[in-house]
């Protein structure tokens, strides 16, 4: 896959969830999380419960639903290949 920055991150997550050829891909999603080390948190796409109009949800380790607005997502990376699929506009990857 190539860098998909021409696509909204919501559309990328939906494509990977509903397109048969991508359905089993696991993505690593990095997002801003105030209070976490370096204010950054990561989850994998198989943890996502719902993809909504302005956010997605997942259940944390104690079973609570967590809401992550799309504007907090920094990167989306293919877990298997390490390929960067999406990067937040204006964000530099080291």
**What pLDDT, in 10s, does the model give residues 64-76?**
999 999 999 999 9
Compute the average pLDDT of residues 77-89: 90
Tell me the pLDDT tens digit for each residue of 20-34: 877 788 999 999 998
**Which stretch of DSSP H or E encloses residue 10?**
helix 9-18
What class, spelled out in words, does domain 9-87 have in CATH? mainly beta
Sheet containing 40-44: give its strands across: 40-44, 27-32, 73-78, 84-87
Query: Is the predicted pLDDT of residue 1 greater than 60, yes or no?
Result: no
Residue ranges per structural domain of the chain: 9-87
* Rounded-to-integer distance, Cα 83 and Cα 94, Å: 14
The mean predicted confidence, pLDDT, of the chain is 88
pLDDT tops 60 at residue 94: yes
């Amino acid at each position: 896959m190539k860098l998909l920055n021409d696509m909204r991150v919501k559309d990328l997550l939906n494509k990977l969830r509903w397109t048969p050829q991508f359905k089993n891909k696991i993505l690593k999603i990095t997002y801003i999380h105030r209070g976490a080390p370096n204010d950054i948190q990561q989850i994998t796409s198989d943890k996502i419960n719902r993809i909504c109009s302005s956010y997605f949800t997942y259940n944390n380790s104690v079973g609570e639903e967590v809401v992550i607005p799309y504007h907090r997502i920094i990167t989306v990376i293919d877990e298997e290949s390490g390929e960067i699929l999406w990067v937040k506009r204006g964000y530099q990857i080291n």
